[in-house]
Chain A
Amino acid sequence: MKIFFLLIFLLMANPIYANSDTIIIGWLERVVLKPANIVMHAKIDTGADNCSVHAKKISYSKDDTGHLIASFKVQNRYGESKTIKRKVIRTAKIKTKVGGLQRRPVVSIGICIDTIDEYIECNLVDRSHFDYPVLLGRNFLASNVLVDSSETYLTEPKCRKVER
């Protein structure tokens, strides 16, 4: 009898690993942008190569070492807005739908989805005619997540306490 109970408890004591290490996300997710620590709505697109962020009022300056610094404003759906200053890594040439080339400054921005927290290269662009201020491409998604096109907002950013 004692052995029977022991066996039951032994089974119960085993931790259940229901979740795999790959996180499944929907095609829309809430992310935290770093270093501003602001919650933004992001569209997830496996068809996009890189990340792109809607930046307002981009202005450039040079730091002491002569590096080009971009300072820009990001705004979320809750009326919160933050100014971010980042070094310009390079200028990206982006193919547009019309067939033209567009030059965009590329900076390193921290993105946090669920428990994933990574700094990646994002290009800055006026996305005001799009619904979502952040577009995440494969430079962030590859090897981090799987995308489920039938779902939205499956995760919450877990690298900062989110009030809203």
Chain B
Amino acid sequence: MWFPHQEHMHYSVCSNRIKSALMLRRNVCRSDGPFLCCAASWGRTEYAANAMPYALYIASILGGLALLMMMPRGGFTPLKLGMLLGAATLGGLWLFLARSLPSATGLEDGAFLYYYPFSFIAIGAAARVITHTKPVYAALWFIMVVIASAGLFLTLSAEFMAFAMLIIYGGAILVTYMFVIMLASQSGDTTVVRTSGEPDDESDEGQDKPMAYDAVAREPVAACAVGFVLLAALLGVMFDPMRPNADAAAPSDETVATQVLTRRAVTRLPDAVADRIDDGTIGNVERVGLDLFQRHPLGIELAGVILLVSLVGAVVIARTKAAPPPEFEASDGTAPHPEGARH
């Protein structure tokens, strides 16, 4: 029995629930041996496992074709057909995979059922992000991707990450993108009309028409082929049965007490926090915070440096010329953009 002493538990960020799950897992794997563990999960899915690689590859090909149909190409685009094919591929693949799902998923009650709608929305919205011809709508669809993946995080009981994702991505980053899109498309439409691509003849309704470089994808066939070969390769590895790796779990209290904590200054938790860890009433936010500040202090410092550098860099890159040189304005009023004049 490696259950640690009570005093060691105060050092740890590892809760009783996780610890007992870890013990259970180790006992199972000890009694059966790793090969039997593996064989058990294979036996459940024997038929499905044999056909699974082919199903995944076929689904990758069909998904690639669906995306290819949805890609903007200027002329006729079978968008609806592509969406239909993509949805059918996704649904068929999930139906096929559902046969090898166990009855007990290990998630909270019914949480896995929500995986399907959230994942479907995320994938569909992602497809629209890269196929929509108007940047503003692409950004809005990306917000949909963010919302759906926040829902996926909730089913994984990662509440803090779900809401942080919504606030930071959906709130801050996407608003910044919107600003730039509005800025660029607005002045692009008024000052210079379509410097590249074919000139369009009906410029009366130019406000609603997408720009030429948005309406035609660049090398859609090659792009889809590359992307979905990558996807097929990834999926072939992912759907091998995986076993939880006890070494990858949070370190045991013994390890933390004897190896980690002896090498650094004493980072003893306050008794109140330690008590809540022990009786398992500590929440997700606090767990993430403990992990962040106890085990990754250097990472926080580096993140701060990166943010500072990018802040300074963004200011330097996007800085306008503070004042154009006086002789430039005096001699020639027709070139208000000195940078543009160089090209």
Do A and B originate from a single complex? no
